Amino acid sequence: MARPKVLLGMSGGIDSTVSAMLLLEQGYEVVGVTFRTFDSIKDSCLAKEKGCCSIESVMEAKHNAERMGFEHHIVDFRDTFRRCVIQNFIDEYMDGRTPNPCVLCNSAIKWGELMRVADELGCEYIATGHYARIRECSNRFYLAAAADTHKDQTYFLWMLTEEQLRRTIFPLGDYTKDEVREIARAHGFDQLAVKRESQEICFIPNDDYRSFLRANVPDYNERVRAGEYIDKHGKVLGRHEGYANYTIGQRKGLGIALGQRAFVTRIDTATNQVTLGTYDDLYATELNFRGHELRRVGDGGTITAKVRYRSQAVPVKTIDGNCLTFAVPVWGITPGQSVVLYQDDLVIGGGIIT
């Protein structure tokens, strides 16, 4: 009897590598794939397999697959990634919002393109090293929180469709990060167990999005000009360096002294004004959002929502169309970020905060 075939997205890091180990132990035929989404790697460098053009992670994924005895492919998604993810990132910032590119990348690239490649290679399933689980309820498939609550990544995956979830395996969903490190060590991959993980956006060098925008928006200097800092009453407080340099909740790098801690509370692209206020000014109980599908599971369970990856899920009072009201005030609601809705530990919807 043929083994079920699964296409595994591999980054060269510990999570996807341990996912491969677990899938092989569970009897799957694994095919590895690594995406090129944003790099300057020359084909000659790939052919030589030398780290002359920052190809270490690509080659590490390839070598890890070879070491474990399964085939591996390198797929170039750079054009699609630039059109879809990077352009959205630029457009959102230039419209005064703060995007979360990982949410869009997971839906459009890591699953949208991954499923296409899986079909081409005859793979029934796809898998990644994300910390999440999938649960079937009433003949429907739902994204469910991971066992490791500190690593749970469902916030970034809320856009996945039921069709995508039906074909997805999350090998790490029932494991903690410490357990994953131990599995790597047990299989002789000690280097991976101590390897530092990057928390930066993959296409933003040195985590400096301002320089990235300056380099990638042709008319940046015409569109992003110095303007006024104001308070919530409209009083002018000073001058800022251009609205695109700021995000809601930002405190550092404002370049203004007010005698107390100041936070960005509002960005108005039409007037080029940035409103500053106190920490408490960033609390709110309502938000508007777009693009959600609410799929409740029965009538029970508390509905909660998260507005940031590291924030706590907060009870929801009402959802009226695209307006959501929280039962308690929430800090730092930011246009462009995602609001993700949960019923107990199941993801039942989400949207982009407007």
For residues 32 and 81, state if they share a domain.
yes
Write out pLDDT tens, residues 254-298: 999 998 999 999 999 999 999 999 999 999 999 999 977 778 787
For residues 141 and 23, state if they share a domain.
yes
Global confidence as pTM: 0.89
For residues 256 and 286, state if they share a domain.
no
Question: CA 244, CA 220: separation in Å to the nearest integer?
Answer: 9
Question: CA 230, CA 248: separation in Å to the nearest integer?
Answer: 14
Q: What is the DSSP string of 120-188?
A: HTT-SEEE---S-EEEEETTEEEEE--S-TTT--GGGGTT--HHHHHTEE-TTTT--HHHHHHHHHHTT
Q: Is residue 329 part of a domain?
A: yes
For residues 47 and 190, state if they share a domain.
yes
Active site residue: 45, 84, 102, 105, which one? 105
| % the chain with pLDDT above 90 | 76
Q: Is residue 213 part of a domain?
A: no
Q: Is residue 218 part of a domain?
A: no
The yes-or-no verdict on residue 49 having pLDDT over 50 is no
Long-range residue pairs from 57-63, CB within 8 A, at least 24 positions apart, any chain = 57/11, 57/12, 57/13, 58/12, 58/34, 59/12, 60/12, 61/10, 61/11, 61/12, 61/16, 61/17, 61/32, 61/34, 62/32, 62/34
Tally of domains within the chain: 3
343 strand-pairing partners: 303, 346
For residues 269 and 286, state if they share a domain.
no
Residue 148: domain span: 5-205
- Return the structure tokens found at 303: 């509905």
Write out pLDDT tens, residues 82-123: 999 999 999 999 999 999 999 999 998 889 889 999 999 999
Query: Which amino acid, one-letter code, is at 206?
Result: N
For residues 293 and 253, state if they share a domain.
no
Q: Is 202 a catalytic residue?
A: yes
Write out pLDDT tens, residues 236-250: 999 999 999 999 999
Domain boundary among 175, 205, 235: 205
Q: Is residue 311 part of a domain?
A: yes
